[in-house]
């Protein structure tokens, strides 16, 4: 084998893995990322359409945890109580994930990105906030995605 043939052979061997079909795990992971991205979009759309409490309760796993004002709100029961106690009106929350990733098993994932929040407090003062969110998603036994941490 001459030097040129050896170089071509080595390059072909090095590039061969890049030409292989995705593995089953990679396919599961990619499918999960797409499903999570869609769940985020549907979650955000429901918040705009029916309100933040309805959307959070619809997309929360039964054992989900929210971190709000240095307080952990654990489970849907506590979430209902938390939202019912709020005196805010005209609540609007918009978000879009900048990043989505999932496990290779395709059953757990996370997102993060920017959010915009606005509301009116009990004294009539407008509240506006922007920031970053981080949500952990878990695939449920029925195939739907619910968040377990937000």
Structure tokens at 107: 């059953």
Task: For 82-95, write each residue's pLDDT tens digit.
Answer: 999 999 999 999 99
Q: What is the helix (H) or strand (E) element at residue 19, kind and residue range?
A: none
pLDDT value, residue 14: 54
pLDDT value, residue 22: 73
Structure-token match 């981080």, residue found? 134
pLDDT at 11 over 60: no
Task: For 28-60, write each residue's pLDDT tens digit.
Answer: 999 999 999 999 999 999 999 999 999 999 999
pLDDT value, residue 21: 75
- One DSSP character per residue, 78-99 reads HHHHHHHH---EEEEEEEEEEE
What are phi and psi for residue 89, nearest 5 degrees? -125, 170
Q: Which residues of 26-62 are buried (b: 16+ CB within 10 A; e: fewer)?
A: eebbeebbebbbebbeebbebbeeeebbebbeebbbe
pLDDT value, residue 15: 54
Domain range 21-149, CATH class:
alpha beta
Domain assignments of the chain as residue spans, ordered by start: 21-149
Strand partners, 95: 115
Q: Name the burial class of residue 97, with classes exposed (0-12), middle (13-18) and buried (19+) by CB atoms within 10 angstroms of its CB.
A: buried
Task: For 131-149, write each residue's pLDDT tens digit.
Answer: 999 999 999 999 999 999 9
Band of residue 18 on the pLDDT scale cut at 50, 70, 90:
low
Residue among 137, 139, 116 nearest 40 (CA): 137
Threshold 0.95, pTM exceeds: no
pLDDT value, residue 19: 55
| Structural contact between residues 92 and 119, judged by C-beta atoms closer than 8 angstroms | yes
| Structural contact between residues 66 and 150, judged by C-beta atoms closer than 8 angstroms | yes
């Amino acid at each position: 084998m001459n030097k040129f043939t050896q170089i071509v052979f080595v390059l072909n061997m090095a590039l061969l893995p890049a030409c292989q079909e995705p593995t089953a795990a990679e396919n599961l992971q990619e499918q999960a990322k797409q499903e999570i991205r869609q769940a985020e979009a549907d979650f955000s759309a429901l918040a705009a359409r029916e309100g933040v409490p309805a959307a959070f309760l619809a997309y929360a796993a039964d054992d989900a945890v929210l971190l709000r004002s240095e307080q952990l709100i654990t489970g849907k029961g506590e979430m209902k109580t938390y939202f019912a106690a709020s005196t805010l009106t005209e609540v609007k929350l918009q978000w879009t994930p900048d990043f989505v990733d999932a496990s290779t098993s395709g059953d757990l994932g996370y997102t993060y990105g920017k959010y915009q929040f606005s509301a009116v407090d009990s004294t009539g003062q407008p509240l506006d906030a922007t920031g970053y969110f981080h949500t952990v998603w878990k695939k449920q036994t029925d195939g739907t995605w619910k968040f377990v941490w937000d």
